[in-house]
């Protein structure tokens, strides 16, 4: 069986590795000169910066990512790093809240801080524990949980407590997002509290480990898939650089909206399917500043205003020359960049960078911050081949994840989806989506 994978980001590489273990030799098509997409790291003046990966939950022993990475042989090629003390420090409305490792520790600290909400906190954690198991078993991923985070927090009245708990929506949707899917919130919440880790070398180390693990996969860079061809029997070929190449199945890890635009003709059912996908709401985008901070930053710092939309964060990666390599993240808008000329874009980027830099200095008290580079929502769009520069792809709202979820098997025969838009976003979503996809591919004897 000939299988093509569109996109050589995390999901594309994962799908290839899992297919290899089932006896297949897939071909990956990547339009950019290098693999890794937004997961990869890059260097400026010998300083290593992380792009789309800074830290993740579920990386403690016996947790999902730890176990699946161990099973795939990736863990022995990576070094996981624990945080010293708190992994996140929140500044909300002028108050500082520290998030320690361990869900029980966090629960106890919240109950001590908010004694009047003690029972509500207890109940909330119980519900989170119930939904926190991450599994690729078919009986688990087909379950529909339409509950929103807002529903599960309805009895909590303390606004500060609500904002602390809502902080965790920033890892898969946007800040303080009450309409977020509770099912995925619980998985992120508990697995981060009990297993947040960094990876030495950042996302680039994960990309290298995956590439090194591939033995029977062909990777074609600078190879943009322009069209996917189908007949009455389903997808039978793709067109790359003007050449038609036959395949028995195509797995697309780029955004479903982008993928469906690769078809010249669709039947009525497929047209309705495409309209459904086109109507999905996207997660927001970020502006990133890659910098060196003359301070010893051990915890990820988050600064929130009234509603969370004006948040800014400082995420430390590693030390360099006695300083902290960090990424400053803030909310940004694709629409403010998409129609600009080259000169207008450069000016707008410089202006936004300076605005967020001054905010970060004021809020953190770090005066000595050296900027090496920055990126806009257009940068994210370029590297992810997604939609509107969205940071996590399709918005992980309760409504979209229950009524409108995009599954790996599509309405086009022999076309499959993988990536952050399928099942769930982020590192967990990429691994989970790829693992679920494998249920559709029987082990090969070849």
Q: Strand 312-320 to strand 323-332: parallel, antiparallel, or no bridges (unpaired)?
A: antiparallel
Q: How far apart are CA 186 and CA 182, in angstroms?
A: 6
pLDDT digits (tens, 9 = 90+) for 345-385: 999 999 999 999 999 999 999 999 999 999 999 998 888 77
CB atoms within 10 A of CB 219: 18
- Of 410, 324, 407, residue with least CA distance to 364: 324
pLDDT digits (tens, 9 = 90+) for 374-394: 999 999 888 877 788 888 888
- Of 260, 257, 255, residue with least CA distance to 278: 257
- Of 54, 127, 133, 45, residue with least CA distance to 321: 45
Q: How far apart are CA 203 and CA 185, in angstroms?
A: 23
Opening angle at CA 240, ends 234 and 243, nearest 5: 90
Q: How far apart are CA 57 and CA 194, in angstroms?
A: 7
What are the angstrom distances between the C-alpha of 254 and each of 153, 202, 285? 34, 22, 17
3-state SS, residue 92: strand
Q: How far apart are CA 78 and CA 201, in angstroms?
A: 9
Say what the pLDDT of residue 239 is: 97
Q: Which of 60-69, 298-307, 416-425 has the highest mean pLDDT?
A: 60-69
Domain covering 3-79+201-280+406-440, topology = FAD/NAD(P)-binding domain (3.50.50)
Contact 182, 148 (CB under 8 A): yes
Which of 105-119, 166-180, 360-374 has the lowest average pLDDT?
166-180
Contact 2, 247 (CB under 8 A): yes
DSSP assigned state of 205: H
Say what the pLDDT of residue 406 is: 78
- Of 65, 54, 326, residue with least CA distance to 195: 65
Residue 429: which residues within 8 A CB-CB, separation 6 or more?
172, 420, 422, 423
Alpha helices (runs of H) in 132-201, residue ranges in sequence order: 138-141, 149-152, 159-166, 182-193
pLDDT digits (tens, 9 = 90+) for 279-293: 988 888 999 999 999
Q: What is the DSSP string of 316-338?
A: EEEEETTEEEEEEEEEE-GGGTT
Q: How far apart are CA 326 and CA 318, in angstroms?
A: 8
């Amino acid at each position: 069986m000939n299988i093509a994978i569109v996109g050589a980001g995390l999901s594309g590489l994962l799908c290839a590795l899992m297919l290899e273990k089932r006896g297949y030799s897939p071909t990956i098509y990547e339009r950019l000169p290098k693999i890794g997409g937004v997961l990869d790291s890059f260097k400026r003046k010998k300083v290593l910066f992380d792009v789309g990966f800074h830290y993740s939950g579920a990386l403690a022993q016996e947790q999902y990512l730890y176990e699946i990475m161990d099973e795939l042989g990736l863990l022995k090629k990576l070094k996981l790093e624990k945080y010293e003390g708190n992994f996140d420090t929140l500044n909300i409305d002028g108050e500082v809240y520290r998030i320690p490792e361990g869900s029980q520790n966090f629960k106890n600290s919240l109950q001590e801080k908010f004694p009047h909400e003690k029972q509500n906190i207890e109940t909330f954690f119980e519900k989170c524990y119930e939904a926190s198991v991450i599994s690729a078993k078919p009986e688990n991923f087909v379950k529909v949980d339409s509950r929103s985070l807002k529903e599960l927090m309805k009895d909590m009245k303390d606004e500060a407590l609500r904002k602390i708990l809502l902080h965790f929506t920033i890892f898969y949707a946007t800040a303080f997002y009450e309409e977020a899917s509770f099912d995925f919130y619980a998985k992120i919440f508990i697995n981060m509290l009990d297993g947040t880790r960094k990876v030495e070398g950042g996302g680039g180390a994960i990309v290298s480990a995956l590439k090194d693990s591939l033995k029977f996969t062909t990777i074609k860079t600078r190879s943009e898939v322009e069209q996917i061809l189908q007949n009455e029997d389903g997808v039978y070929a793709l067109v790359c650089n003007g050449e038609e190449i036959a395949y028995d199945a195509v797995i697309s890890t780029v955004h479903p909206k982008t993928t469906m635009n690769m078809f010249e003709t669709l039947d009525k059912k497929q047209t309705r399917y495409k309209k459904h996908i086109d109507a999905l709401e996207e997660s927001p985008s970020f502006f990133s500043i890659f910098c060196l901070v003359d301070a010893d930053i051990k915890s990820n710092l988050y600064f929130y205003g009234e509603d969370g939309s004006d948040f800014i964060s400082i995420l430390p990666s590693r030390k360099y020359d006695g300083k902290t390599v960090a990424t400053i993240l803030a909310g940004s808008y694709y629409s403010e960049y998409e129609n600009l000329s080259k000169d207008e874009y450069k000016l707008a980027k410089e202006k936004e960078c300076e605005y967020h830099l001054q905010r970060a200095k004021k809020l953190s008290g770090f005066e000595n911050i050296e900027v090496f580079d920055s990126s806009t929502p257009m940068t994210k769009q370029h590297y992810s081949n997604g939609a509107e520069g969205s940071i996590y792809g399709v918005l992980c709202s309760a409504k979209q994840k229950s009524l409108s979820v995009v599954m790996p098997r599509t309405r086009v025969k022999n076309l499959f989806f993988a990536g952050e838009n399928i099942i769930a976003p982020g590192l967990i979503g990429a691994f989970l989506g790829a693992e679920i996809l494998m249920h559709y591919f029987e082990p090969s004897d070849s």
